[in-house]
Amino acid sequence: MVTKKTSGDPAAQEAEASGVQEALKSGMAVPAAIMAGALRFSASRLLAQADHLLRLSACRDLAEASRLQREFLASSLESYKDEASLVAERLHIGRKAS
Protein backbone atom coordinates (compact mmCIF):
# COMPACT_ATOMS: atom_id res chain seq x y z
CA MET A 1 0.00 0.00 0.00
CA VAL A 2 1.32 3.41 -0.96
CA THR A 3 0.73 6.24 1.46
CA LYS A 4 1.07 9.88 0.66
CA LYS A 5 3.14 11.88 3.08
CA THR A 6 1.71 15.25 3.97
CA SER A 7 3.54 18.33 4.91
CA GLY A 8 3.97 19.06 8.60
CA ASP A 9 2.59 22.53 7.90
CA PRO A 10 -0.90 22.79 9.48
CA ALA A 11 -2.04 25.26 6.80
CA ALA A 12 -1.02 22.82 4.05
CA GLN A 13 -2.79 19.96 5.83
CA GLU A 14 -5.93 22.06 6.20
CA ALA A 15 -5.82 23.03 2.51
CA GLU A 16 -5.41 19.38 1.50
CA ALA A 17 -8.29 18.30 3.75
CA SER A 18 -10.45 21.08 2.33
CA GLY A 19 -9.61 19.98 -1.21
CA VAL A 20 -10.57 16.40 -0.39
CA GLN A 21 -13.85 17.56 1.16
CA GLU A 22 -14.68 19.68 -1.90
CA ALA A 23 -13.95 16.76 -4.21
CA LEU A 24 -16.24 14.53 -2.15
CA LYS A 25 -18.97 17.17 -2.10
CA SER A 26 -18.89 17.71 -5.84
CA GLY A 27 -18.66 14.00 -6.54
CA MET A 28 -21.54 13.20 -4.20
CA ALA A 29 -23.90 16.06 -5.09
CA VAL A 30 -25.76 14.22 -7.85
CA PRO A 31 -25.98 10.83 -6.06
CA ALA A 32 -27.14 12.63 -2.90
CA ALA A 33 -29.81 14.53 -4.85
CA ILE A 34 -30.99 11.31 -6.47
CA MET A 35 -31.12 9.52 -3.10
CA ALA A 36 -33.02 12.40 -1.48
CA GLY A 37 -35.45 12.40 -4.38
CA ALA A 38 -35.92 8.64 -4.13
CA LEU A 39 -36.70 8.89 -0.42
CA ARG A 40 -39.14 11.75 -1.03
CA PHE A 41 -40.84 9.84 -3.84
CA SER A 42 -41.04 6.63 -1.78
CA ALA A 43 -42.65 8.52 1.09
CA SER A 44 -45.19 10.16 -1.20
CA ARG A 45 -46.08 6.82 -2.81
CA LEU A 46 -46.50 5.13 0.57
CA LEU A 47 -48.83 7.93 1.69
CA ALA A 48 -50.80 7.66 -1.55
CA GLN A 49 -51.08 3.91 -1.10
CA ALA A 50 -52.24 4.27 2.51
CA ASP A 51 -54.86 6.80 1.39
CA HIS A 52 -55.96 4.47 -1.40
CA LEU A 53 -56.31 1.52 0.97
CA LEU A 54 -58.35 3.64 3.38
CA ARG A 55 -60.71 4.65 0.56
CA LEU A 56 -60.84 1.09 -0.73
CA SER A 57 -61.81 -0.21 2.70
CA ALA A 58 -64.81 2.12 2.70
CA CYS A 59 -66.16 0.87 -0.64
CA ARG A 60 -69.76 -0.29 -0.64
CA ASP A 61 -69.71 -2.24 -3.91
CA LEU A 62 -67.46 -3.83 -6.49
CA ALA A 63 -68.01 -1.07 -9.08
CA GLU A 64 -66.74 1.59 -6.66
CA ALA A 65 -63.73 -0.56 -5.72
CA SER A 66 -62.93 -1.12 -9.38
CA ARG A 67 -63.15 2.62 -10.12
CA LEU A 68 -60.84 3.41 -7.19
CA GLN A 69 -58.35 0.78 -8.36
CA ARG A 70 -58.31 2.23 -11.90
CA GLU A 71 -57.86 5.78 -10.59
CA PHE A 72 -55.05 4.70 -8.25
CA LEU A 73 -53.27 2.82 -11.02
CA ALA A 74 -53.52 5.80 -13.40
CA SER A 75 -52.30 8.18 -10.69
CA SER A 76 -49.43 5.83 -9.79
CA LEU A 77 -48.30 5.48 -13.39
CA GLU A 78 -48.32 9.26 -13.81
CA SER A 79 -46.31 9.71 -10.59
CA TYR A 80 -43.71 7.14 -11.65
CA LYS A 81 -43.44 8.74 -15.11
CA ASP A 82 -42.88 12.17 -13.55
CA GLU A 83 -40.31 10.81 -11.11
CA ALA A 84 -38.44 9.01 -13.91
CA SER A 85 -38.23 12.33 -15.76
CA LEU A 86 -36.81 14.05 -12.67
CA VAL A 87 -34.19 11.33 -12.15
CA ALA A 88 -33.20 11.49 -15.81
CA GLU A 89 -32.85 15.26 -15.52
CA ARG A 90 -30.67 14.94 -12.40
CA LEU A 91 -28.47 12.36 -14.12
CA HIS A 92 -28.17 14.59 -17.18
CA ILE A 93 -27.19 17.57 -15.01
CA GLY A 94 -24.68 15.40 -13.15
CA ARG A 95 -23.16 14.19 -16.39
CA LYS A 96 -22.78 17.79 -17.58
CA ALA A 97 -21.09 18.79 -14.31
CA SER A 98 -18.46 16.06 -14.49
Assign 79 a pLDDT band (cuts: 50, 70, 90). very high
Number of domains in the chain: 1
Is 6 within a domain?
no
Is 8 within a domain?
no
Neighbour-count burial of 25, counting CB atoms closer than 10 A to its CB (0-12 exposed, 13-18 middle, 19+ buried): exposed
With beta carbons less than 8 A apart as the criterion, state whether 68 and 59 touch.
yes
Is 71 within a domain?
yes
Q: What are the pLDDT digits (tens) for 8-32?
A: 677 766 767 676 566 556 677 778 8
- Is the pLDDT assigned to residue 81 strictly greater than 90? yes
Is 20 within a domain?
no
> Structural domain of residue 82, as residue ranges?
26-97
Is 52 within a domain?
yes
